[in-house]
Amino acid sequence: MATLLGLLVSIVSGFLQSRHGIFRSGNGSSLARYLLLWGGLYLLTITLIGWLVQLEIGEILAYLLSVLIIVPISFLAQKYWVFR
């Protein structure tokens, strides 16, 4: 239960920090879009890591490569879709 609560607090905190601190978004921001993006990026990340591990790249390197791909996608999606 504590893990779930911690995850929910971190997601809402990330939304609020991104909304007010990074993108300085007003009325155009959407928690629903943020949650949808968060879930999609999570699925994309684990899929990417799985593919890279199957290519025998190694788990740590697969994770690092996936971060290099996911972070720019996340930023652009938040800027142009969530916090427009």
* Alpha-carbon gap, residue 7 to 1, rounded angstroms: 10
* Alpha-carbon gap, residue 41 to 66, rounded angstroms: 10
Please name the residues in contact with 18: beta carbons below 8 A apart, sequence gap of 6 or more. 25, 34, 78, 82, 83
**For 15-60, what is each residue's pLDDT tens digit?**
999 988 888 887 667 889 999 999 999 999 999 999 999 999 999 9
**For 48-67, what is each residue's pLDDT tens digit?**
999 999 999 999 999 999 99
Contact 18, 31 (CB under 8 A): no
Evaluate if pTM is beyond 0.85.
Answer: no
